[in-house]
Amino acid sequence: MTKKIAVLAGDGIGPEITAQAVRVLDVLVRDGLEVQTESALVGGAAFDAKGDPLPDETLKVCESAQAILFGAVGGPAYDALPRSSRPEQGLLRLRKHFDLFANLRPALVYPELAEASPLKPDLVAGLDLLILRELTGDIYFGKPRGIHVNDAGEREGFDTMRYSESEIRRIARWAFEAARKRNRRVCSVDKANVLETTQLWRDVVTEVARDYPDVELSHMYVDNAAMQLIRRPLQFDVIVTGNMFGDILSDAASMLTGSIGMLPSASLNASGFGMYEPIHGSAPDIAGTNRANPLATILSLAMLLRYSLDQEAAAVRVEQAVRKVLAAGARTADIARPGEKVLGCSEMGDAVVAAL
């Protein structure tokens, strides 16, 4: 049976980068992969056309698909809209709707790119770190939240950090299971010295660890973790953390690999349905100029092939094509060193397609 992938390009550089991933997919289809794509609107593009960042039609397309390939959403034109109309809500609602609680953000340093990191090459060479970010809870979704006028008569903003035991337990299990397939080390990142929610996080992760005596568990406060990621990133194997800390730490970790344009992600639920997207945003500063790095999106497609379509060979083929173009010196502006030849987004797509 031909499987369907919903393609949600979104805003800014979203259409440019997803177009390159779809070209890669087209090659695989030409070679026999039984997959079809269906595009749908999301984010600001959907708000402009339908008045809603996640229209019902889009949700239907996603529900009828095996997986979602997502570009990026957002942009300054939408920042003054009421929150429920903003592009980012389209993304957050998709994550919640499909219960995509497990967000895998692997930071891998390709040997060819060790020089592209702002850190010294020997600090990052060989890095293979998995950030496992909880994606459907925390201060992102906790209630109450809002802006009101307080008793002193001034405006006051408030959000609620919230995690239930079961939410923590299921992401902790993911972390230990993932570590078993890797180097058997889990570092749980929290702020248990200050925040009750993350004290519970630490307690529950420690309880779950009893079922995994073969995996080494450590705990780290988030401020120290941010520092340690830069000081000695090779100490980490799997980092498991909540929604907000994971958002911030993964952007920081992306620079270890050379650029945020290199980091893919998979967001999965308990039944294996997934959404796949680069961790970066819509990059309004370079949108429409063919300067974006499409590799994070192409590598997200590889994760889609692996986790949602069970096409390991095709996933490896895509990853190897990326390695090959990097080894051959193909560089978009974000990963180029001074004086190096710079490719545009579509030319990087050409290179990967040729390398397949």
Pick what 261 binds: ligand IPM, Mn ion, ligand NAD, none; C-beta below 5 to 8 Å, kind-dependent.
Answer: ligand NAD
Is the bond preceding 144 in cis, omega lying within 30 degrees of 0?
yes
What is the nearest approach in angstroms of Mn ion to the Cβ of residue 134? 14
Q: Find out whether 6 and 66 touch, Cβ atoms under 8 Å.
A: no
By beta-carbon proximity to ligand NAD, the closer residue of 220 and 255 is 255
Q: Identify the active-site residue in 212, 247, 276, 307.
A: 247
Among 279, 314, 326, 352, binds ligand IPM (CB under 6 A): 279
DSSP assignments along 104-156, one per residue = EEEEE--GGGGGGSSS-HHHHTT-EEEEEEE-S-GGGT-SS-EEEE-TTSSEE
Active site residue 341: no
Structure tokens at 241: 């953390």
Beta strands in 206-351 (DSSP E): 216-221, 238-241, 266-268, 274-276
Provide the annotated binding site for substrate. 95, 105, 133, 223
Q: Is 55 in the site for ligand NAD (CB under 6 A)?
A: no
Among 247, 253, 264, 349, binds ligand IPM (CB under 6 A): 247
Rounded to whole angstroms, the Cα distance separating 248 from 95 reads 18
Strands 274-276 and 266-268: antiparallel
By beta-carbon proximity to Mn ion, the closer residue of 92 and 209 is 92
Q: Is 293 in the site for ligand NAD (CB under 6 A)?
A: yes
Active site residue 251: yes
* 177 CB neighbour count, 10 Å cutoff: 12
Q: Is 280 in the site for ligand NAD (CB under 6 A)?
A: yes
Rounded to whole angstroms, the Cα distance separating 131 from 298 reads 19
Binding site for ligand IPM (CB under 6 A): 74, 88, 91-92, 247, 279, 281
Binding site for ligand NAD (CB under 6 A): 17, 72-75, 88, 91, 260-261, 277, 280-286, 292-293, 296, 334
Catalytic machinery residues: 140, 191, 223, 247, 251
